Amino acid sequence: MKSHKSKNKPTMSSGQIRIIGGKFRSRKLKVLDVAGLRPTTDRVKETVFNWLMPYTSNANVLDCYAGSGGLGFEALSRYAENVTFIELDNLAHRQLAENIKLLNADNTQLFNGNCLEVLPKLTGNYDLVFIDPPFRKDLASSTCHLLEELQLLADDAVIYLEVEKELTNLELPLNWQILKEKNFGQVTSYLLQR
């Protein structure tokens, strides 16, 4: 007889992400199987952090849709000064808190909530921002514009943006320029600078 899971009970299966560089290199962190969570693959992370090499050390970092925390933890491993994580999903948020504790990362802040509602509560001068929102929810452009409106970015801030490949109506703030752009399967990655 097959067992079935209650529809109300969240799945608690998990996987792992691996930190690929820096002081936490090769450390594995647990990631829960949460609907819509797409941890950035090692291949993409390698490209992204090659792009970001000049920008991570001593940076004040914001990870807007943290999910597994893979991008923020990678920045921490590469000597970011501070990382602020924002995650809406309660289970993913709880796992982020456990991974922060596991790494003894006391130079982090963790917020549980809707990114667009949390951003107005922040008072950062962020040097490096990760924006990797859930796909097909029209969050990328609004997050970029809100960061600019709230003046949360350093003058020459660098922004890594990951969106679904088919997104064609991406509207960026006028004072942002695209430094790099690359397609990885169904994902398009941008390196932007204010």
Reported as a single tens digit per residue, the pLDDT across 96-106 is 999 999 999 99
49-66, pLDDT tens digit by residue?
A: 999 999 999 999 999 999
| 131 in a structural domain | yes
Residue 46: other Cβ atoms inside 10 A: 14
CATH for 123: 3.40.50.150
Quick one: tokens of 63? Answer: 């990870």
The whole-number pLDDT of residue 6 equals 37
pLDDT digits (tens, 9 = 90+) for 13-37: 568 888 888 888 878 888 776 665 6
Residue 90 in domain: yes
Residue 182: is its pLDDT beyond 70?
yes
Q: How many domains does the chain have?
A: 1
What is the pTM (predicted TM-score) of this model?
Answer: 0.88
Asked if residue 153 belongs to a domain, the reply is yes
185: left (phi over 0), alpha (psi -120 to 50) or beta: left
Please give the C-alpha separations between residue 45 and each of 55, 70, 76, in angstroms, as whole numbers: 15, 8, 14
Instruction: Name beta bridge partners: 190.
Output: 161, 181
Q: Mean of the pLDDT values across residues 104-122? A: 96
Query: How far lies 124's CA from each of 104, 147, 158, in Å?
Result: 22, 10, 14
